[in-house]
Amino acid sequence: MEKNDRAYLKRLLETPSVTGSEVPVASLVRERLADTADEIATDVMGSVHATLKGTADGPSVMLAAHMDEIGLMVTYVSDDGFLSVSAVGGVDAAILPGMRVDVHTAKGPLRGVVGRKPIHLIEADERKKVTPISDLVIDLGMSAKKVKKRVRIGDVITFGVGFEQFGRGMAVSRAFDDKCGVWIATRVLEELKAQGGAPGDFIAAATVQEEIGTRGAVTTTYGVNPDVGLAFDVTHATDYPGISKSKYGDIRCGGGPVIARGPNINPVVFERLVAAAEAEGIPYQLEAEPAATGTDARSIQIAREGKACGLISVPLRYMHTPTEVVALSDLEDTVRLIVRFVKDLEADVSFVPGM
């Protein structure tokens, strides 16, 4: 990965964007593509749509990746200055005690810690129980007066960790789900531009509010109205202990992008994604999705009169934790795959199954 691209990925991952508060990341996307995209629009929901105009009459393709990350939200400030919180998205209460967090206020972030009684003061029968989020508090290390002056109800909170590379080609962050996808959508548009464009319009869509029901994908797909809608997200890697491959498939970090197959996926799009990977010599993996997926694809497919939809993912270990892990090679291979898929679309291609 080029140094400039890695720095952009780091900025995306470390910029707070809890669901409903995606503005800072949206600004990064607009800044990055300002001199590359032909048009950039932001809808009333906050999703960003960057368009590269087509060179011919090929079908328009939208690649959607969501900007939002899971987090917490302030629901109450006690008279002692401690914060009570609720989850925004799928937060595992078991991982929170003892964690450092950042509370994002109007005047900037405040470092806090998630407090819990030490083991010495916990009764034996309580030690094996997960403390509910509603019973946890955040300590800002400040007087109650200062806390109440800085913090407002509804302020959002992120895990207080950043991006690191480790091991051999691996990286860890709190927010690869799905800001690595925003990076990929950006890079696909840049690569298509560098290669002279695509037959039809290409739209890199950075969507909002996926973590609470793919809400941004609903409005984005309706507004953009592409011929083909690709969703990008992360999927569960199963290459570490304790995960059943017979139940969840054999998905490995470093094994290449994951192409989904099932009723949420247009069969023509699926076969063309596989063909693109094989034509480019890109390693790829298949994932069975027997129902509507938990990604933007579920909303893209049924927008308006229905859209030809595909889903590409990268394997991710430890999803929805502060230590989400990916292989950086999978990100780069995904960019290559999608660029080839888009460039190979003929003007007369039909996505009607069986026709």
Q: What are residue 259's phi and psi, to 5 degrees?
A: -105, 125
Q: What percent of the chain has pLDDT over 90?
A: 94
Distance (Å, rounded) from C-alpha 174 to C-alpha 317? 11
Tens of pLDDT, residue by residue over 282-324, are: 999 999 999 999 999 999 999 999 999 999 999 999 999 999 9
Q: Are 93 and 235 in contact (CB under 8 A)?
A: no
What are the b/e assignments for 188-222, b being 16+ CB within 10 Å? bbbbbbeeebbbbbbbbbbbbbbbeebbbbbbbbe
Tens of pLDDT, residue by residue over 19-66, are: 999 999 999 999 999 999 999 999 999 999 999 999 999 999 999 999
Q: Which entry of 69, 190, 210, 287 is annotated as an active-site residue? A: 210
> 211 a known binding residue?
yes
The pLDDT of 160-172, averaged and rounded, is 97
The pLDDT of 150-154, averaged and rounded, is 98
Tens of pLDDT, residue by residue over 63-82, are: 999 999 999 999 999 999 99
Q: Are 208 and 57 in contact (CB under 8 A)?
A: no
> 104 a known binding residue?
no
Is the pLDDT confidence value at 343 over 80?
A: yes
Is the pLDDT confidence value at 344 over 80?
A: yes
Distance (Å, rounded) from C-alpha 257 to C-alpha 14? 23
> 233 a known binding residue?
yes
The pLDDT of 212-229, averaged and rounded, is 98
Distance (Å, rounded) from C-alpha 6 to C-alpha 326? 14
Q: What percent of the chain has pLDDT over 70?
A: 100
The pLDDT of 138-152, averaged and rounded, is 97
The pLDDT of residue 117: 77
Is the pLDDT confidence value at 355 over 90?
A: no
> 177 a known binding residue?
yes
- The distance of Cα 174 from the centroid of its chain, to the nearest Å, equals 11
> 139 a known binding residue?
no
Residue 119's CB is within 10 A of a number of other CB atoms, namely 9
Q: What is the mean pLDDT of the chain?
A: 97
Is the pLDDT confidence value at 129 over 90?
A: no
2 catalytic residue (yes or no): no
The pLDDT of residue 108: 97
The pLDDT of residue 249: 97
Distance (Å, rounded) from C-alpha 215 to C-alpha 208? 7
The pLDDT of residue 144: 97
Is the pLDDT confidence value at 83 over 90?
A: yes
The pLDDT of residue 118: 80
Higher pLDDT, 131 or 175: 175
**CB-count exposure of residue 155 (10 Å: 0-12, 13-18, 19+):** buried
Is the pLDDT confidence value at 121 over 80?
A: no
The pLDDT of residue 354: 86
